[in-house]
Amino acid sequence: MTTIAEHLCQRLRDVFGERIREAGTARGEVTVEAAPRDAFALMQDLRDHAEFQFDQLTDIAGVDYAAYAQDEWITQEATGSGFGRGVDGFTTGRLGLTGPYGVHEIESNTGRRFAVTYQLLSVALNHRMRIKVYADDDNFPVVDSVVPIWNSANWFEREAFDLFGIMFDGHPDLRRILTDYGFVGHPFRKDFPLIGNMEVRYDEERGRVVYQPVSIEPRVLVPRVIRKDKRYADRFDEEAASDG
């Protein structure tokens, strides 16, 4: 039996055709990929088309696909999560300050590093969908602003610009929203150093707060390893004996 999400996905393919690069469903959710050159017109039609009526933008998020799906912890007995992970971090954000703005230049292992995802809602039809747009240029990611379509995109796009460095062409006031105006770099990029670039301190001679290069040494913290606990050993032995 065709689900509502699958039916919506098929109608999107039928109506928009080649303007959609990919369309699919997963866990009952519809995701569509659009090229940057087609994204603005596509989303405008999704809002105005009588069959879709996506009149509400609920969220925008940036994504950095550098080193996508790679575990940063390497040991002989590495696990993907929890306290059993190793201690030799190799992600570029852990390696210190080099290159422009004190960061490492890294590339995506998927061939496309930066993307923007849009969460849309049709109040009238009770439909939801996600649109994903990959930026063409990894070094200077740019997509069109959708503020003229949904005014709620204003702060969402400023957030993605602030944290990921993604530019939104046509945004009426694209400036930082979460970090300070003098902040260097973009914190959610995977090449952003974990120790940061700048720090602030109070200068008693000047009588004010001053900015200076970060003085913290880069380091990798050792995660706690959970081992067998003697407090529970006797109980486990008793259970094993009773099972035997």
Euclidean distance between CA atoms 187 and 172, whole angstroms: 23
Euclidean distance between CA atoms 14 and 33, whole angstroms: 15
Q: For residue 4, is it left (φ>0), alpha (ψ between -120 and 50) or beta?
A: alpha
Q: Are 116 and 15 within one domain?
A: yes
Per the model's pLDDT, the better-predicted residue between 15 and 82 turns out to be: 15
Q: Are 59 and 142 within one domain?
A: yes
Instruction: Examine the pLDDT at 228 and tell me if it is beyond 90.
Output: no
107 with 138: CB under 8 angstroms?
yes
Residue 81's domain comprises 68-105+192-244
Q: Are 157 and 138 within one domain?
A: yes
Per the model's pLDDT, the better-predicted residue between 133 and 81 turns out to be: 133
pLDDT tens by residue, 152-207: 999 999 999 999 999 999 999 999 999 987 788 899 998 888 788 888 899 999 99
What percent of the chain lies above the pLDDT cut of 70? 70
Count of the separate structural domains present in the chain: 2
**Which of 131, 147, 178 is the last residue before a domain boundary?**
178
pLDDT tens by residue, 90-133: 445 544 434 333 444 565 556 689 999 999 999 999 999 999 99
DSSP code for 40: H
Specify if 186 maps to a domain.
Answer: no
β-strand 29-34 against 127-134: which pairing, if any?
A: parallel
Q: For the domain that residue 151 is a member of, what is the CATH number?
A: 3.30.460.80
Q: Is residue 163 within a helix (H) or strand (E), and if so which, with residue range?
A: helix 153-164
Instruction: Examine the pLDDT at 208 and tell me if it is beyond 70.
Output: yes
Specify if 158 maps to a domain.
Answer: yes
Q: Are 114 and 172 within one domain?
A: yes
What type of residue sits at position 79? T
If you search the block for the tokens 């290069």, which residue do you land on? 213
Nearest CA among 1, 6, 2 for reference residue 23: 6
Instruction: Select the highest-mean-pLDDT range: 41-45, 76-80, 87-91.
Output: 41-45
Specify if 187 maps to a domain.
Answer: no
Q: Are 159 and 58 within one domain?
A: yes
Q: Are 73 and 61 within one domain?
A: no
